[in-house]
């Protein structure tokens, strides 16, 4: 067993996890000349793989990435101009203009690649993507990215002046802080809660009674749904939402990329999928086999032509199925001593408010910025506040409730959902979007 870098004056900040949260925290530390080591269990190629998932970015995340960090979002994201509302049978309900609301859509892999470009230099792919290297120095030499290795445990000094992490190769390294950006199945969180709870089962993930299939299909001129989707794009309505009914339950979300449509189908379920994986880029979901896809085609067999056709033309290898989880215990602290939870490690949530990645971006920005300018324990205390936890708690609950409504098989609820989408004032809809992002806006504005 090896222990390195035990000198308190030179201890790096340790980041567990290389998703958007971990990479963004690393980028901010790099720009502020704060040494760090980021550990990620996936390979460098896997870290930026295109698995067909996407993100919605709301105003606060856009402000952080574009205005405060100077990233050119136009190069890897599309601005929402509108949203088509339809039923799962294919009936058009409403077209919603979003000209006055700032929101963008992007592919997960594009955000990952952009952050890696900033950290490693734009030529990192030509240098590293096909080799067997696992340790990469950042472009300014401030930090390191270590792939194919993960943090599995930590030990914090009673004096709270350092933290030692154990890696899955049985080596150890000492740092000044540990940032747990290791996702919904966080090992950092598990260790933290062992010390806080009498019964660790109180912190178990809770299945939200929703299973999701997501995928991506190429849009070609000879495919029978291409005209409809290209029409949506030409009309600048980048998104399309399908609402279900008792006969055709569930909800579908579609968004257009360049010659590709990204889609997600959510269905009410009493149990999660029987299969899973440890692939965090797929949120623990699994890639469909051909026989799995046949089962999916049965699920959408009485949907309208659009969704049946999209599923038909999506290869099984481009479809992921996953159960959705959050935590029933949402009042836990996000830190203990010099160990801090960020993103899904702190507050996992379903995607129905679109806030998962937005909150992760806000967490990374606030924590890394504070660590760059304040004493460590003071920075952590300012990050982990009761106000932030309470506002996050509300968004997580709202996401679960919205998910339950959107996949309901209740005839009356489905009917009123469609009536609402057809006739509710646009101002009411946008106010709900703004309200879900308020926690992030307040969080970053507290630093002014």
Indicate which CATH number applies to the domain containing 39: 3.50.50.60
pLDDT, tens digit, 9 for 90 and up, residues 81-93: 778 888 998 888 8
pLDDT, mean of residues 119-127? 85
pLDDT, tens digit, 9 for 90 and up, residues 164-201: 999 999 999 999 999 999 999 999 999 999 988 878 88
pLDDT, mean of residues 136-147? 94
CA atoms within 13 A on the CB side of 396: 23
When the pLDDT of each residue in the chain is averaged and rounded to a whole number, the result is 88
Q: Give the range among 126-135, 145-154, 181-190 with minimum mean pLDDT.
A: 126-135
pLDDT at 101: 80
pLDDT at 219: 76
For residue 304, is it within any domain?
no
For residue 365, is it within any domain?
yes
For residue 77, is it within any domain?
no
pLDDT at 233: 54
pLDDT(289) > 90 = yes
pLDDT, mean of residues 391-420? 90
For residue 394, is it within any domain?
yes
pLDDT at 206: 93
For residue 311, is it within any domain?
no
- The number of distinct structural domains making up the chain is 1
Do β-strands 104-107 and 54-57 pair in parallel, antiparallel, or remain unpaired? Answer: antiparallel
If phi > 0 it is left, if psi is from -120 to 50 it is alpha, else beta; for residue 29 that is: alpha
pLDDT at 238: 63
| Residue range of the domain that includes 121 | 3-51+108-204+328-408+437-445
Q: Give the range among 49-58, 64-73, 249-258 with minimum mean pLDDT.
A: 49-58
Among the ranges 126-135, 378-387, 430-439, which has the highest mean pLDDT value?
378-387
Confidence of residue 419 (pLDDT cuts 50, 70, 90): confident
pLDDT(317) > 70 = yes
Higher-confidence position of 434 and 115:
115
pLDDT, mean of residues 104-124? 90
For residue 322, is it within any domain?
no
pLDDT, mean of residues 63-71? 96
For residue 101, is it within any domain?
no
pLDDT(47) > 90 = no
| The two three-digit tokens of residue 193, written as one number | 């809660």
pLDDT(125) > 60 = yes
pLDDT at 75: 81
pLDDT at 430: 66
pLDDT, tens digit, 9 for 90 and up, residues 270-286: 999 988 777 766 777 89
pLDDT, mean of residues 288-300? 94
pLDDT(236) > 50 = no
Q: Give the range among 76-85, 247-256, 333-342 with minimum mean pLDDT.
A: 76-85
pLDDT, mean of residues 197-225? 84
For residue 65, is it within any domain?
no
């Amino acid at each position: 067993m090896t222990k390195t870098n035990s000198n308190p004056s030179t201890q790096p900040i340790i980041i567990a996890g290389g998703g958007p949260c971990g990479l963004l925290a690393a980028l901010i530390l790099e720009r502020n000349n704060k040494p760090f080591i980021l550990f990620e269990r996936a390979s460098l190629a896997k870290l930026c793989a295109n698995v067909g998932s996407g993100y919605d970015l709301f105003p606060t995340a856009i402000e952080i990435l574009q205005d405060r960090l100077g990233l050119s979002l136009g190069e890897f994201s599309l601005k929402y101009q509108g949203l088509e509302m339809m039923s799962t049978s294919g009936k058009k309900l409403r077209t919603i203009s979003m000209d006055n609301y700032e929101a963008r859509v992007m592919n997960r892999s594009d955000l990952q690649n952009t952050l890696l470009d900033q950290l490693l230099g734009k030529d990192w792919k030509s240098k590293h993507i096909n080799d067997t290297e696992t340790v990469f120095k950042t472009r300014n030499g401030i930090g390191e990215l270590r792939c194919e290795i993960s943090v599995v445990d930590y030990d914090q000094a009673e004096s709270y002046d350092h933290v030692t992490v154990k890696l899955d190769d049985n080596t150890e390294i000492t740092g000044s802080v540990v940032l747990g950006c290791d996702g919904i199945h966080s090992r950092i969180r598990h260790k933290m809660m062992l010390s806080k709870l009498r019964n660790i089962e109180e912190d178990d993930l809770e299945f939200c009674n929703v299973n999701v299939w997501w995928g991506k299909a190429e849009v070609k001129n000879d495919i029978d749904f291409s005209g409809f989707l290209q029409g949506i794009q030409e009309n600048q309505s980048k998104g399309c939402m399908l609402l279900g009914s008792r006969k055709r339950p569930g909800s579908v979300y579609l968004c257009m990329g360049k010659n590709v449509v990204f889609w997600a189908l959510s269905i009410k379920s009493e149990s999660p999928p029987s299969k899973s994986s440890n692939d965090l880029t797929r949120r623990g979901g699994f890639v469909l086999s051909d026989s799995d896809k046949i089962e999916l085609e049965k699920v959408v067999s009485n949907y309208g032509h659009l969704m049946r056709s999209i599923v038909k033309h999506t290869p099984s290898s481009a479809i992921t199925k996953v159960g959705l989880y959050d935590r029933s215990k949402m009042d836990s602290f996000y830190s203990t001593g010099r160990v801090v939870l960020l993103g899904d490690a702190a507050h996992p949530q379903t995607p129905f408010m679109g806030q998962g990645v937005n909150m992760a971006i806000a967490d990374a920005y606030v924590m890394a910025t504070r660590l760059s300018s304040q004493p460590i324990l003071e920075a952590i205390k300012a990050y982990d506040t009761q106000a932030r936890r309470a506002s996050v708690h509300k968004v997580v609950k709202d996401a679960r409730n919205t998910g339950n409504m959107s996949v309901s098989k209740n005839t009356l609820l489905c009917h009123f959902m469609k009536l609402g989408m057809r006739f509710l004032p646009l101002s009411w809809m946008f106010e709900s979007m703004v309200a879900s992002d308020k926690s992030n806006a307040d969080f970053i504005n507290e630093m002014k």
